[in-house]
Amino acid sequence: MVKKIWNTILFVWMSGVIVGAFIWATQQKALKEYTRIIYFHVPVSWITVLAFLIAAVYSFLYLKKRLLKYDAYAEAANQLGFLFAVLATVTGSIWAKVSWGTFWNWDPRETSIFILLLIYAAYFALRSAIEEQDRRAILSSVYAILAFVTVPFFVFIVPRIYFSLHPDPVINQTGEVNMDFKQRVVFFSSLITFTAVFVWMLKTKFEIAVMRLRIKKLEREK
C-alpha cells in the first residue's frame, strides 16, 4: 500500500514538473524556448554524478568487507549512472542541434561526457570478461573507484578550462541562481523529482540484485 502511494506521488510530481516546464515556467531571454531543456538536462546530469559516486562508495565497502551484495549494489548504481549519462548526452545533443545546428561538434562538454561514457563502458566490459565471482568483484571495485576519480575532472573541471559554447544559464558569474521565481520552482522541483525517481530505481535494482545473489547461493548448495 505504501509503495503504491509513493509511486502515485512520484507520477503526479513528475507530471507537474513536465507541465510546469512547458506551460507555467517563463523563458530566459537568451535561450527562449530552449529554456525547457534545462529542467531535464541538468537533473539527469546531476543524477549521473550521484549514481557514480554511490557506485564508488559501495565498491569501497566491498573492498573493505568483502560482501558480494556491495559489489552487486555498485554494479546497479553504475548501470543507472551510465543510463543517466546517456540521457544527459541525448538531451544535450538536442539542445546543440537547435542552438548550433548540429547534434555533435566536439565541444569540451560533449567530449568530456563521451570520454566518461567510454570509461564506464569499459567497467561493464571488464565485468563481462571475468567469470570468477570474487575476482570480478575485486577488479570491478578497484576500477569503479578509479573511474569515479575522473568524474569531477570531466564534468566540472575540463569544461571550464577550455572555451565552450555551452551556456551556463543556471548560475551567473557572481555565483547566484540566474532564474526568476517560476523558473526556480520548476527547476528545483525537477531536481528533487528526478532524485526521488533515481532513489526508487536504485532501491528496486538493489532488491533484484539481492534476489539474484540468493538464487546463485541456492544453486551452489544443490
How high is the pLDDT of residue 156? 67
Taking the C-alpha atoms of residue 83 and residue 7, their distance in angstroms, rounded to an integer, is 21
Q: Where do we find the cell 526508487?
A: 200
Beta-carbon count within 10 A of 90 CB: 14
Which cell goes with 95?
539542445
Mean of all residue pLDDT scores within the chain: 85
**Residue 169 cell numbers, joined:** 544559464
Distance between first and last Cα of the chain: 36
Task: Report how far residue 124's alpha carbon sits from residue 86's, in angstroms, rounded to the nearest whole number.
Answer: 15
pLDDT tens per residue across span 145-173: 999 999 988 776 665 665 555 555 555 54
Output the pLDDT for position 201.
Answer: 93
Helices (H), 130-180: 133-152, 158-161
What percentage of the chain has pLDDT greater than the value 90?
45
Give the tens place of pLDDT for each residue, 59-80.
999 999 999 999 999 999 999 9
Cell of 44: 539527469
DSSP character at residue 1: -
Amino acid at 77: A
Contact predicate 18/10, CB 8 Å? no
Of 196, 208, 202, the residue nearest 11 (C-alpha)? 196
Dump pLDDT digits (tens) for 174-222: 455 567 788 888 888 999 999 999 999 999 999 999 998 888 878 777 6
